[in-house]
Amino acid sequence: MTDQPFYLANNTGLIQARPEDDLLHREVNAGIEGDTLTETQYFGFNVPEKNIHGLTYLWHHPNLNVVTGGLMVFQGVKPISMAAELFDFRIYMNDTVLDNDIHDYRLDNGFGVKILEPNKRFHLTYEDAARGNAIDLVSEAVTPVALFGDGKHFEQGMKVRGTLKLRGEEHQVDCFNVRDRSWGKLRPEALMPMPPVSWMTGSFGEDFIFNCNLMDHVGSNPQITAPFEIPQDKALNGGWVWRNGKLSLITAARKEIRRDDRTFQPQEVTLHLTVEDGSTFVARGTLAASCPYATWTNMHANISLIRWDVEGRIGYGDMQDVIWNDFAYSVASKALVPA
């Protein structure tokens, strides 16, 4: 395969993060040519007892001086992004909105993030009074930063507390989530002749959180046919587990997944994960909420809240499931063939 996405082959060990890694990486980015050079900031939250999930996103193209960003919040399963209770992204903003770096920024749609303490605490706010939508949340670290060995991407387990107003109804947020940051890499929008890729997190409490970035592979689901077959041992792009005060790499993974044939939304997923100390566990996930979101036009993602069961312990987390045209067409075209 060619033109592999920026997030593949990220499982290169973990290194120490710095407080400045929560700011823009202007010096690193300055040495990289290409319009698709990217820096991002992601936070999420959920109200699992009400099947509510939220995503906030900042996407900077420093070589184009353009910023994309905003947030989405949805309850249950939505057929299109415009059916979400809250969906407000702006695609083309001048990056003067980041003149104060990302210490304390506010986008044109009113979404903003303030760094209260780098690598530890963040304040997220937004209000749309006309629609009765608002967030006022503090996201606070419960794990160390998991910075991968290339020094250009990290993830971190967070505790999120605060209030969410959704179409006039107020909800209390008190959940766990995994945030992430990326910088210094090109993010090509070319068509990718690949199987789906799933970025999956599961949070069970301050003592147990996992993250796994995994392609569909041979045997993972019946939709995978010859052009998209990836060996299982080549499918893992990165992952870690925080358990009992220790952050460890995931060294092997297997995925079994069932998606809706029409919407591609995940219905069930089972992960078999091996940790670097040799321990293993199985996480069985079912869909709680989902909403489609095409970050750029040559891809499709379903953003989902998954209910996880690990040995009877229940947790919740993201599944950001990405597909490209070749795979989606192959599935859809078979569905149109008469039996």
The reply to whether 285 falls in a domain is: yes
Q: What is the pLDDT of residues 271-330, one digit of tens each?
A: 999 999 999 999 999 999 999 999 999 999 999 999 999 999 999 999 999 999 999 999
The reply to whether 69 falls in a domain is: yes
Query: Comparing 59-63, 109-113, 147-151, 209-213, which segment has the lowest mean pLDDT?
Result: 147-151
**Domain CATH code at residue 250:** 2.40.370.10
pLDDT at residue 339, rounded to an integer: 45
Residue 8 has pLDDT above 70, yes or no: no
DSSP code of 335? H
Indicate the SS3 state at residue 198.
strand
Which amino acid would we find at residue 216?
Answer: D
The reply to whether 9 falls in a domain is: no
Residue with token string 């083309």: 92
Q: Using an 8 Å Cβ cutoff, are 209 and 142 in contact? A: yes
The reply to whether 7 falls in a domain is: no
**Which pTM was predicted?**
0.95
| SS3 sequence of 76-123 | CECCCHHHCCEEEEEEEEEHHHHCCCCCEEECCCCCEEEEEECCCEEE
Q: d(Cα 206, Cα 83) in Å, to the nearest integer?
A: 33
Please name the helix (run of DSSP H) or strand (run of DSSP E) that holds residue 23, with its range, or none. Answer: none
Average pLDDT across the chain, whole number? 94
Question: What confidence tier does 3 reach under pLDDT thresholds 50, 70, 90?
Answer: very low
The reply to whether 8 falls in a domain is: no
Q: d(Cα 274, Cα 210) in Å, to the nearest integer?
A: 12
Give the domain extent around 118: 14-335
The reply to whether 4 falls in a domain is: no
The reply to whether 6 falls in a domain is: no
> Of the candidates 168, 90, 162, 164, which has an alpha carbon nearest to the alpha carbon of residue 129?
168
Residue 260 has pLDDT above 50, yes or no: yes
pLDDT at residue 10, rounded to an integer: 59
The reply to whether 5 falls in a domain is: no
For the chain, the domain total comes to 1
Residue 158 has pLDDT above 70, yes or no: yes
pLDDT at residue 5, rounded to an integer: 54
